[in-house]
Amino acid sequence: MAGIYIHVPFCGHACTYCDFYFTTTLNRKETFLDTLTTEIKQRKEFLKGQLISTIYFGGGTPSQIEVKELESILKNIYDNYPVQPDVEITLECNPDDITKERAAEYKSIGINRLSVGIQSFHDKELKLLGRMHDGRQALNAVEAIRKAGFSNFNLDLIYGVPGSTIESWEANLNTIIDLEPTHISSYSLTIEPGTQLEYQVKKGRVKYPEEELVIDQFQALVRSLTNRQYDHYEISNFSLPGFESKHNTSYWKGIHYLGLGPSAHSYDGENRYINVASTKQYCELMKTGDVLTTEFLSKQDRFNEYLLTRLRTKWGVDLSYLQNGFPTEYLDELYNGIKEPIQKDHLKINNDHLLITSAGKLFADKIASDLFIVTE
C-alpha cells in the first residue's frame, strides 16, 4: 500500500501563524494544474505499482480550486496508478468555502473525507489567527457537511492561542464535542519564524500564553475527548473507533508516499524527495525534470525519525523491528537512554513495544530527541 499527497498552494488569505508554502494569488492556477497533470504522469513509476490506499489534498487551501478541477486531478491519478476500491480521499477545506451544495459536489467526485480548519469557535481568536471565517460559519460548515452525507470528517482546533483562557478553551471543546466529528486534530500554536505572528510577538503586540496554561489546555483536551470515547491515537489526533486518518497514519508507520505539487515531499522507504517550494519554479522546473531534490537518509536518520514519529502514537516503538533493522549499538544506546524516562513514568515497555505514558505525552518530542543517535 502507498499514499499520494497533492499540495494545492493557493490560499485566499495568509493566516498569521502559517509557515507552510502557499500563495494568495490565483494567477498561475491554470499553469499549476497543467504542470500537476504532467507530474502525475511522469512520476507514476515512483511507487513501483503499489496499490494506492490514500489520497490527500492539502495546502494551501485545496477548496480554493473548482470541484471540476479536483475531479480532473483524481481522474488523472486513477488513469495512472492502481487505486484501492475503498481508498480514503481527504480534502482540506476552510469553513468559509463550505456550503451544502459544495460539500455534495465533493462527495459526488469521490472525496469521502473532509478536514475542516475550524481552529476556534471564538471570533476574537479567529481574528488574531488571521482566519477568514467566524464561529457561526464554522458551525454552518459542519451542518452542511452532515447534510451532504459525509460520515467521516475531521475538525482542527488550536490551543495555546494568545488571549485564551482555560474557560475559553473548554468552551471550544464543549462545542466540538457537541458536533460529534469522527476525528479531531488539535495542535498547540507555535511561533514559526517569518510569520506575521512572530512579528507581532516580537513587537509586543501579542503575548504568547504562559507554559502552564498551554499544559492545562492540553490536559483538558485529552481529558474531555477521551471521556467521550475518542481514541487518543497520536499526540495531536483523536478519533472515534475506526476513524483514524489512514493517510497520516501511513506517515507515522513509514509507508511509502508520493508528494505532488510545490513543496510536496515523497518517501520511498529509504530517502526523501522534496519538490521546490515555489509555484513559479515548480511550473518551470517540471519542464526539465529538475523539480525535486533528494534528501539521503542514513540508518541513523531513519532510526531517529522512527523514534520521533512512533513515540507520538498509541502503537509506540516496535523494539523487534529496531533489533532486526539497525545496528546493535543503536539498541544498546536506546536501552540506556530510556532508563530515566521509565523511572519518571514517561515511558513504559509493553509486549516488546516502547510506549509513551499519559504523563510523558506532554514531553513526547523532547523525550524522543533525547533518545536520538548522534554518533555519525
| Average pLDDT estimate for 189-212 | 84
Quote the CA–CA distance of 310 and 349 in Å, as a whole number.
Answer: 14
User: How far apart (Å, rounded) are the C-alpha atoms in residues 223 and 154?
Assistant: 19
Which whole number is the average pLDDT over 370-375?
A: 90
pLDDT top residue among 64 and 228: 228
257 three-class SS: strand
Query: Which residues belong to CATH 3.20.20.70 in the chain?
Result: 2-251
What stretch(es) of the chain map to CATH 1.10.10? Answer: 299-370
Indicate the CATH number of 2-251 among 3.40.50.170, 3.30.70.20, 2.70.98.10, 3.20.20.70.
3.20.20.70
Asked whether the predicted pLDDT for residue 18 surpasses 80, the reply is no
At 20, is the pLDDT very low, low, confident or very high (cuts 50, 70, 90)? low
For the chain, the helix, strand and coil percentages under 3-state DSSP, each to the nearest 5: 45, 20, 35
The per-residue b/e assignment along 289-312, b for 16 or more CB within 10 angstroms, e otherwise, is eebbeeeebeebbbbbbbbbbbbb
Q: Rounded distance, CA 155 to CA 132, Å? A: 16
Domain 299-370 - what CATH class? mainly alpha
pLDDT digits (tens, 9 = 90+) for 310-341: 999 999 999 999 999 999 999 999 999 999 99
Confidence band (pLDDT; 50, 70, 90) for 131? confident
In this predicted model, what pLDDT tens digit does every residue of 148-200 receive, in sequence order?
A: 999 999 999 999 999 999 999 999 999 999 999 999 999 999 887 887 877 78
What is the mean predicted confidence (pLDDT) over 351-371?
95
Strand order in the sheet with 353-356: 317-318, 353-356, 347-350
Three-state DSSP class for 118? Answer: strand
What is the overall mean pLDDT for the chain? 94
* pLDDT bracket for residue 130 (50, 70, 90): confident
Residue 203: pLDDT band (50, 70, 90) is confident
- pTM confidence score: 0.94
